[in-house]
Chain A
Amino acid sequence: MRNSEIVCIVCPKGCRALVREKNRRVEITGTECARGAEYVRNEYIEPMRVLTTTLTVESGGKRRLSVRTDGKIKKKLLIPCVRYLKTVKAVPPIHMGEVIVENMLDTGMDLIATDEVE
């Protein structure tokens, strides 16, 4: 049996949910709406996040290029992805939304540019 507390971030109310797991059944208490319960369940099973960071730009008018994953990736992969991205250089010209790394580290998500460099 595992117990954990998760703060819901669906709305500003910030409900404190208690998750109990017993014989592979997940029980959630403390949320006040269905969306909150859904968020807490996902957060308990596998928390997912959008990664945003910057890349070195090889040449051109800017020193850094801001990037993000094109969707949520597993939270535990945030740090490994950032470490990997220290080896990646962006080569201008780069357009808004352009894919810089396809299926980054097998996360199933592309890394895309969130800015432009000429």
Chain B
Amino acid sequence: MIDLDLAVIGAGPAGLAAAVRARKEGIRDIVVFDRDDRPGGILNQCIHTGFGLLRFDEDLTGPEYAYRFVTEVNRLKVPVELGTAVVELAKDRILTAVNGKKASKYRCRAIILAMGCRERTRNAVMIPGTRPAGIFTAGKAQRLMNIDGYLPGKSIVILGSGDIGMIMARRLALEGCEVKAVVEKNLYAGGLIRNKVQCLDDFSIPLLLGHTVTAIHGEYRVEKVTICTMNEGGEPDERTAKDIECDTLLLSVGLIPENELTRMAGIGMDRSTGGAFVDNILETETEGVFSCGNVLHVSDIVDYVSLEGEIAASGAAGRIRGVLSEKRYGKRFVSGRNIRQIVPQSITQERETPLFIRVQEPTGPARITAGDIARKRVPVARPSEMIELTIEKKKCQKLLRPPGEGTIEVNCREE
């Protein structure tokens, strides 16, 4: 058993930002674990731009954004154990890490969960048909192309208009593939508008809204897919079925926070985010265990992920130094009108708190409110675009004095 002040699980954008901040706050004894053979996480395969606009006021690619944090981690001499998977997390902050040579147990004073998320697959959306080669998740295809140097196919249909799906449509079109269509079951694109314009419109790739793939055909390799329009009840209308010939189907049908370790440790989960239930220092309901980035809730921009890593690290540093008050219940946020999810889910500490909110349905101009402690007007609200609402420190103080439980309703009202 090795004693450790802070374990960071995952060396992606959340984990790297957390490691840098924890070191800068004076924590000496830190180890970052990652199962990949290089740090940076998913950023390494995201070679397109659009990263760092908020944090650096620059339009960086994924590897460039990661490089800035990796450089800091190296300069601050924070050890990163690569090729090492954390396979077990016990209730008392004891974790087991395995690499090619050995398994080691660590007893940690604080743990930061930064494991990211993974893609939903064909199973998750239950597409009937045969099981030929040529079906990939969009992120897997991205890795094959950008890191390993393989083209997944030549004639492509993409199901789901999430950002990765649209970015892959452009990537494949640039490499000379024919992208026949992006098929989206909703009546609006799943990803950011700039991706719809610069990835699909730029290359005249049709976006078929209100459609879905209902069958995959082909014995050895994908030969065609059947698509249908969605009816008002949200079911595919078989009468509209038509086939599109293609050799490859990419799936961009959502991301799932990778919380196996979190569940193993018995940490309380929020069903709306698929991540842990956290307070405003991103501490889970288990004292000393923090969660940040895509493992907490899937973000649409990396800048927020890094910010969360830093908030979690400050919290963890506070726990390790013993300066934080005992873990208690504070005020909980509850979803009111047109709100799908809120992170963090509660306030227990007196500090400025960014709330990350996702709406249920798209609206025009709207007012977002958190009880009577914070409000903000937005020109539009879409489920695909996270809204940040900051609660000032003095409002948090007012809320927590005197201490006690209570709820704050968050609403999005169209104006």
The answer for the CA separation of A19 and B236 in the assembled complex, in Å, is 37
* A64 close to B49 (CB less than 8 A): no
State A56–B48 Cα separation when bound (angstroms).
17
What are the interface flags for B48-79 relative to A under an 8 Å C-beta threshold, 1 for contact and 0 otherwise? 11000000000101011001000000000000
> Are A66 and B380 neighbours in the complex by a CB distance under 8 Å?
no
| Contact A49 B148, beta carbon cutoff 8 Å | no
Question: Quick check: A12 and B146 within 8 Å, CB to CB?
Answer: no
The interface-forming segment of A21-29, A75-83, A102-110 is: A75-83
Assess whether B174 is in contact with A114, with CB atoms less than 8 Å apart. no
The yes or no answer to A88 lying at the interface (CB within 8 A) is no
User: Which of B145, B175, B382, B385 is close to A82, meaning CB atoms less than 8 Å apart?
Assistant: B175
Q: Is the CB of A52 within 8 A of B49?
A: yes
Please determine whether B379 and A56 come into contact, CB atoms closer than 8 angstroms: no
CB pair B147 A52 closer than 8 Å:
no
Residue pair A12, B385 in contact (C-beta under 8 Å): yes
CB distance from A58 to the nearest CB of B (A): 13
Interface flags, B378-403, vs A, CB<8A=1, else 0: 01101001000000000000000000
Are B380 and A50 in touch, CB under 8 angstroms? no
**A96 at the binding interface (Cβ < 8 Å):** yes
Contacting pair A9 B47 (CB below 8 A): no
Given contacts A12-B192, A12-B382, contact A50 B147 (CB under 8 A): no
Expressed in whole angstroms, the Cα–Cα distance for A68 and B194 within the complex equals 18
Number of residues from B at the complex interface, CB < 8 A:
29
Inter-chain CA distance A63–B143, complex, in Å, is 12
CB distance from B164 to the nearest CB of A (A): 15
Range of interface residues on A (Cβ < 8 Å): 20 to 34
Distance in Å from the Cβ of B79 to the closest Cβ of chain A? 20
User: Distance in Å from the Cβ of A96 to the closest Cβ of chain B?
Assistant: 6
The residue on B at minimum CB distance from A83 is: B176
Stretch from B10-18, B118-126, B197-205 contacting the other chain: B197-205
Q: Please provide the chain A residues from 50 to 67 with a CB less than 8 Å away from any CB of chain B in the complex.
A: 50, 52-54, 56, 62-64, 66
Q: B127 an interface residue at 8 Å Cβ cutoff? A: no
* Structural contact, A96 and B197, CB atoms closer than 8 A: no
B175 touches A66 (CB 8 A): no
**B residues in contact with A47, CB < 8 Å:** 202
Minimal beta-carbon separation of A91 from chain B (angstroms): 16
Instruction: Check B146 against A68 for contact (C-beta < 8 Å).
Output: no
Indicate if A101 sits at the interface (CB-CB under 8 A): no
Q: With A11-B379, A12-B380, A75-B202 known to touch, is A52 a contact of B61 (CB < 8 Å)?
A: yes
Q: Does B149 contact A (CB under 8 A)?
A: yes
Decide: B198 and A49 in contact? CB cutoff 8 A.
Answer: yes
Contact between chains at B149 and A56 (CB < 8 Å): yes
Chain B residue with Cβ nearest A57: B149
In the bound assembly, the distance between CA atoms of A49 and B59 in angstroms comes to 12
Which chain A residues border B192 with CB–CB below 8 Å?
A: 12
Q: How many angstroms between the C-alpha atoms of A66 and B67 in the bound complex?
A: 13
Cβ-neighbour of B146 out of A13, A49, A56, A64 (below 8 A): A64
Asked if B67 and A64 sit within 8 Å, CB to CB, the answer is no
A14 at interface by CB-CB < 8 Å: yes
B201 / chain A contacts, CB cutoff of 8 Å: 7
Determine if B149 and A54 form an interchain contact, defined as CB atoms under 8 angstroms apart.
yes
Q: Contacting A114 at CB < 8 Å: which of B61, B176, B385?
A: B61
Query: Do residues A66 and B146 form an inter-chain contact, with CB atoms below 8 A?
Result: yes
- Residues in A10-51 with C-beta less than 8 Å from chain B: 11-14, 47, 49-50
Further contacts, 7 of them, CB under 8 A, given A12-B385, A14-B193: A9-B197, A12-B379, A47-B202, A64-B146, A66-B63, A68-B61, A82-B176
4 closest pairs, A vs B, by CB?
A: A66-B47, A9-B194, A63-B149, A14-B193
